[in-house]
A and B are shown apart, each in its own frame.
Chain A
Amino acid sequence: MIRDITLGQYFPGTSFVHRMDPRAKILLMICYVVTLFLAKTVAAYLFLLVATALVIGLTRISLKFYLRGLKPLLFIMAFTALLNMLYSDGEPLFTFWVFSVSWEGILNGIFMIVRIVMMVLTMSVLTYTTSPLLLTGGLERLMFPLTYLRVPVHDFAMMMTIALRFIPTLLEETEKIMNAQKARGADFESGSLVRRAKAMIPILIPLFVSAFRRAEELAVAMECRCYDGDFKGRTRFVEYRFSWRDLAALLFCVAVLGVTLALNPVVLIRGVGL
C-alpha cells in the first residue's frame, strides 16, 4: 500500500539519539558520512560497521525499519558495485569479452556496497530520530549565516517544513481518491502504457485541485495567526541547546574519524584523495 513508503519517516522516542540537539545531529551526520568515504581498508570498514551498528542500537528503533529503508536502493547498489568491479585496475583474476575482473575490483565493489549501506543507515538514523519540525528548524539555524547574503533562509525552511508535513497527507489523499475512482470501476493495473498513463488523470486532477485548496486554506490560517515571515525580533518557542549528549556524540565522531584514519595507512602516507 502507498502508506508503507518510509520516506522521511520519523519514529517518536526518547533514546539518547532522539534527545540530541538537531543541529549537532545534522553536522555530525555530515562528518560521519565523510568518514565513511575516507575508509580504504578492510579493517577500517569492519570498524565502521561496528560503529554504525552501535549508533543504530542507541536509537532503540528496530533494525527491521532500517532494512526496509534499504530495499528501494538495492538496484542502485548492485549497479554501482558491478561498475566498480569491472572498472578497477589490478591483476586480472579472469577476463571475458572486453572486461577483466580483478581481486581489487571485487573488493572495491564490496566496499562500495558497504559504503552506500552505511551512508543510508546514517541518514536514516537522522530522519528516524528527528521530527521533521526539528530537522528543518535545525537546518534553518545552521544556515543562519546565509541571511547576511540576503538568502531568505527562514522562508526556505518554512517551505521545507510545510512540504515535509504534507507528504503523508497527500499520500493519504492519493489513496483515498484512488479508492474512490476504483469504486467507480477505474482500472489502474492493466492495459498498455498509454492507457495506464491516461488512467492516472482521474487521480491527478482531484489531487491537484485539493492540493491548491489546502495551500490556500493553510495560507489563510497562517495569516490569521499573524504569520509574517522572518520579521525582526521573531522569537522561538523551542530554543536549541547543546548538552552533554552532543559533546559525547562529537567525541564519538572524532574518535571514529581518528581510528578510521589510523586503520588506513595508505591514505595517511599518500594523503587524502590520492
Chain B
Amino acid sequence: MSKPILRVENLTQVYGAGTPFEKTAVNHVSFSLYEGEFIGIIGHTGSGKSTLIQMLNGLMKPTSGTVFFREEDVWAKKYDRRTLRANVGLVFQYPEYQLFEETVEKDIAFGPRNMGLSEEEIALRVQEGMHFTGLSDKLREKSPFELSGGQKRRVAIAGILAMRPKVLILDEPTAGLDPKGCNEILSNVRDYQREEGATVLLVSHSMEDVAAHADRVMVLEKGNLKMLDDTRTVFGRGQELLAMGLNVPQITRVFLTLKAQGYENLPSVLSPEEAVRSLDALTGGAK
C-alpha cells in the first residue's frame, strides 16, 4: 500500500488532568488513513469522536502521542499548523452557527482568504465550493442569515471545501436535516471526494449512511479504538456493536436476525438492493 496521508500513533487526550473532573477522552489510539478512502466513524455519545477529530487537524494538542500528516509530525517545532488546517478540513457539528459574513460569497471566501490566495483564486474556490454543495448562483449575494437551515449548512460546508482539503472530516454533517437534505449533502461530499481524490472521515449516528458510503469503519468506545476494518466486516459483527449501544443498518439487522433463526445460508448485506440481489440468487429469481 502507498504511504498513509494521515497517521496517528498512541494518541491520547486527557481532560482536566489532576482535578476531580479528570477524564480520558481518547486512549492510546493508533491508525493510518490513505488517499481517497472514505472512512466512517461510529461510537456512542461521549466515546471520544469529537476529541479525536480535533486532534487530527492540529486544533487540539494531544496529551501524548503523535499525529503525522504525510509522515510529518504536526506538533514538531516549526510545523505550520495553519496550512495543516487547510489540508485537513474539519466541518464541525452544526457548522451553520459559525457563519458571520454579510454575504454567502464572502463567508465561503473566509477560508481561502486566510490561506493568502489571490483574488482570482479565491473567486474560483468560492465557485467550486458552491458547485460542490449544490448552491445556486443566485444565493451568492444573499446574507447567510436569511437562508434556510439546510442551505446554511451547505454554505458552511462550502466554506471548508473551498480550501480544497486533502482530508475532509465531517462531524455529523446531516444532524437535524430532512432525509432528502441528508442524501444530497452526502452525495455532494461523495462528488468532492471523487473529483479531488480526497480522503473523507464521516462521523455519523446513521448506520445506513455509513454503510452506504464508507470503505472502512472505525468504532470507538469510551476513548478506545475497538474496530477499524472494512465496512462489511465491521457490520458483520452486529452483536458486538449492539453490546456497545450501537447499531447496524436495519436491513443488516433483519438478515442477522433471520440467520440466528436458522436461515444460515444468508449472507451479510449492507443495503436493501444488496439484500434483493442475494435473495434472488438464493431463490433462483423466483418470486
Chain A residues in the interface with B (C-beta under 8 A): 176-177, 179-187, 201-202, 205-206, 209-210
Interface membership of B86, Cβ < 8 A: yes
27 contacts between A and B (CB under 8 A): A176-B92, A176-B97, A179-B92, A180-B92, A180-B98, A181-B98, A181-B110, A182-B59, A182-B85, A183-B90, A183-B92, A183-B160, A184-B98, A184-B110, A184-B159, A184-B160, A185-B82, A185-B85, A185-B86, A185-B115, A185-B163, A186-B110, A187-B82, A205-B100, A206-B97, A206-B100, A210-B97
Contacts between chains A and B (CB distance < 8 A), count: 54
For the complex of A and B, the 8 pairs showing the least CB-CB separation, nearest first, are A185-B114, A205-B100, A180-B98, A184-B111, A183-B90, A180-B92, A202-B100, A206-B100
Once the chains are docked, how many angstroms separate the CA of A184 from the CA of B159? 8
Interface-centre pick from A201, A202, A209 (highest chain B CB count, 10 A): A202
Known: A179-B54, A180-B92, A209-B145. A185 touches B111 (CB 8 A): yes
Asked if residues B145 and A183 are in contact (CB atoms below 8 Å), the reply is no
Interface-centre pick from A184, A185, A187, A202 (highest chain B CB count, 10 A): A184
The interface residues of chain A lying within 8 Å CB-to-CB of B95 are: 180
Asked if residues B89 and A206 are in contact (CB atoms below 8 Å), the reply is no
User: Interface of chain A, helix or strand or loop or mixed?
Assistant: helix
- A180-B95, A183-B89, A184-B111 given. 20 additional CB < 8 A pairs? A176-B92, A177-B97, A179-B92, A180-B92, A180-B97, A180-B98, A181-B98, A183-B57, A183-B90, A184-B110, A184-B159, A184-B160, A187-B82, A201-B100, A202-B100, A202-B110, A206-B97, A206-B98, A206-B99, A210-B97
Report the nearest B residue to A208, measured CB to CB: B100
Closest Cβ of chain B to A10, distance in Å, is 13
Once the chains are docked, how many angstroms separate the CA of A205 from the CA of B97? 10
The interface residues of chain B lying within 8 Å CB-to-CB of A184 are: 85, 98, 110-111, 114, 159-160, 163
Once the chains are docked, how many angstroms separate the CA of A182 from the CA of B90? 10
Report the nearest B residue to A4, measured CB to CB: B16
Residues of chain B from 83 to 109 with CB closer than 8 A to chain A in the complex: 85-86, 89-90, 92, 95, 97-100
Residues of chain B from 1 to 19 with CB closer than 8 A to chain A in the complex: none
Closest Cβ of chain B to A215, distance in Å, is 15
The interface residues of chain A lying within 8 Å CB-to-CB of B159 are: 184
Asked if residues A183 and B59 are in contact (CB atoms below 8 Å), the reply is yes
The interface residues of chain B lying within 8 Å CB-to-CB of A185 are: 82, 85-86, 110-111, 114-115, 163
Once the chains are docked, how many angstroms separate the CA of A187 from the CA of B98? 15
Chain B residues in the interface with A (C-beta under 8 A): 54, 57, 59, 82, 85-86, 89-90, 92, 95, 97-100, 110-111, 114-115, 145, 159-160, 163
Closest Cβ of chain B to A173, distance in Å, is 8
Once the chains are docked, how many angstroms separate the CA of A108 from the CA of B133? 68
The interface residues of chain B lying within 8 Å CB-to-CB of A205 are: 100
Known: A176-B92, A209-B145. A183 touches B85 (CB 8 A): yes
Interface-centre pick from A180, A181, A186 (highest chain B CB count, 10 A): A180
The interface residues of chain A lying within 8 Å CB-to-CB of B90 are: 183
User: Contact check: which of B54, B99, B114, B160 meets A186 at CB < 8 Å?
Assistant: B114
Interface-centre pick from A176, A181, A185, A205 (highest chain B CB count, 10 A): A185
Once the chains are docked, how many angstroms separate the CA of A177 from the CA of B96? 10
Closest Cβ of chain B to A184, distance in Å, is 4
Closest Cβ of chain B to A253, distance in Å, is 29
Once the chains are docked, how many angstroms separate the CA of A179 from the CA of B97? 12
Interface-centre pick from B92, B97, B160 (highest chain A CB count, 10 A): B97
The interface residues of chain A lying within 8 Å CB-to-CB of B160 are: 183-184
The interface residues of chain B lying within 8 Å CB-to-CB of A186 are: 110, 114
Report the nearest A residue to B156, measured CB to CB: A180
Once the chains are docked, how many angstroms separate the CA of A207 from the CA of B15? 24
Closest Cβ of chain B to A231, distance in Å, is 36
The interface residues of chain B lying within 8 Å CB-to-CB of A176 are: 92, 97
The interface residues of chain A lying within 8 Å CB-to-CB of B114 are: 184-187
Once the chains are docked, how many angstroms separate the CA of A186 from the CA of B110? 8
The interface residues of chain B lying within 8 Å CB-to-CB of A183 are: 57, 59, 85, 89-90, 92, 160
The interface residues of chain A lying within 8 Å CB-to-CB of B115 are: 185
Closest Cβ of chain B to A213, distance in Å, is 9
Report the nearest B residue to A176, measured CB to CB: B92
The interface residues of chain B lying within 8 Å CB-to-CB of A209 are: 97, 145
The interface residues of chain B lying within 8 Å CB-to-CB of A177 are: 97-98
Once the chains are docked, how many angstroms separate the CA of A183 from the CA of B59? 7
The interface residues of chain B lying within 8 Å CB-to-CB of A201 are: 100
Once the chains are docked, how many angstroms separate the CA of A201 from the CA of B163? 20
Closest Cβ of chain A to B21, distance in Å, is 10
Once the chains are docked, how many angstroms separate the CA of A186 from the CA of B98? 12
Closest Cβ of chain B to A210, distance in Å, is 6
Closest Cβ of chain A to B250, distance in Å, is 33
Report the nearest B residue to A205, measured CB to CB: B100
Once the chains are docked, how many angstroms separate the CA of A177 from the CA of B95? 9
Once the chains are docked, how many angstroms separate the CA of A185 from the CA of B59? 11
Once the chains are docked, how many angstroms separate the CA of A177 from the CA of B56? 18
The interface residues of chain A lying within 8 Å CB-to-CB of B110 are: 181, 184-186, 202
The interface residues of chain A lying within 8 Å CB-to-CB of B111 are: 184-185
